[in-house]
Amino acid sequence: MRLPRQVRLVEMGPRDGLQNETHPLAVVDKVRLIERLADTGLKHIESGSFVSPEWVPQMADSADVLRQINRRPGVIYSALTPNMRGFEDAVAAGADEVAVFAAASETFSRRNINCSIQESLDRFRPVLEAARKQKIRVRGYVSTVVGCPYEGRVPPDAVARVAAALHEMGCYEISLGDTLGVGTPLSVKGMLHAVSEKVPVEALAVHFHDTYGQAIANIYAALEEGVSVIDSSVAGLGGCPYAPGAAGNVATEDVLYLLQGLGIRTDVDLKAMAKVGTAICERLERHNRSKVGLALQAREHHSKS
């Protein structure tokens, strides 16, 4: 199959990237990151997550972040929403689009969102209905599409069933996530073949982690299958807190370099993206160093008192 002429990138850094940081960044730093990402030419930036702060404290300030962004015309600022409460909060904060997330593995679903796959899908139905009434688009995520940290290999048919359910429910696009980064081009192609029998390939995206250095190879395999939407994270930030051993997301810079070499259009400036990646890494390094220093000072003061 011919490679797509153009690919749309969905930037995960501000959400999936930063949610795994031990020490949350300040709102002003998150806003600055999102604005700089928009300046590279990106048209879709996942900017926050409206899950319980008890589960993901790094995203507790997502409403403030979304409200403070100096928005660029034509850019979608989306947010992750697990239920109606999250949806309502995201819309109130100004999210242009929302995303719901399910898993292809029963055990991972229970460990990640504390319910079965079917229960998670049932939770999403009122969200999709409310979004339809408010004319807000909903993106669907399916995690563990190749392997699960608890169950091992995930059958492609299981992925196809969940993806089809989300699509039939009203999700305009389904992002297929290799949460552990265990996929190889052959397993990815097998999974995509199964899913594309139930969901049009035009409605599919891929989301790879780079645990074993296979993300770029897997993206090329997905391109060969006709997929033209890729999730990525600036500087490769992130990883799933509920998937032991999962490395960061594939770096947006690496994806851009691949696509540029293949002559595939993205409308995103690689040099500008590399500068954003360098800047956020330096900021995180300074931030984490200062947090560790404060913790050590507090410990020393406590031991003397």
Long-range (24+ apart) CB contacts under 8 A made by 212-217 are: 212/181, 212/182, 214/181, 214/183, 214/184, 214/185, 215/178, 215/181, 215/249, 215/250, 215/254, 216/250, 216/254, 216/255, 216/258, 217/184, 217/185
Would you call 148 a catalytic residue per the annotation? no
Residue 162 vs residues 79, 96, 193: alpha-carbon distances, Å: 21, 25, 14
**All residues at 6 or more sequence positions from 152 whose CB lies less than 8 Å from its CB, including other chains:** none
Catalytic residue selected from 115, 171, 240, 281? 240
| Cα 303 to Cα 305: distance, rounded to the nearest angstrom | 6
Nearest to residue 241, comparing CAs of 180, 296, 190?
A: 180
Name the β-bridge partners of 148.
152
DSSP string of 88-109? HHHHHHT-SEEEEEEESSHHHH
Name the β-bridge partners of 98.
79, 138
DSSP string of 212-273? TS-HHHHHHHHHHTT--EEEEBGGG----TTSTT--PBPBHHHHHHHHHHTT-B----HHHH
**Number of residues that this document lists for the chain:** 305
Catalytic residue ranges: 240
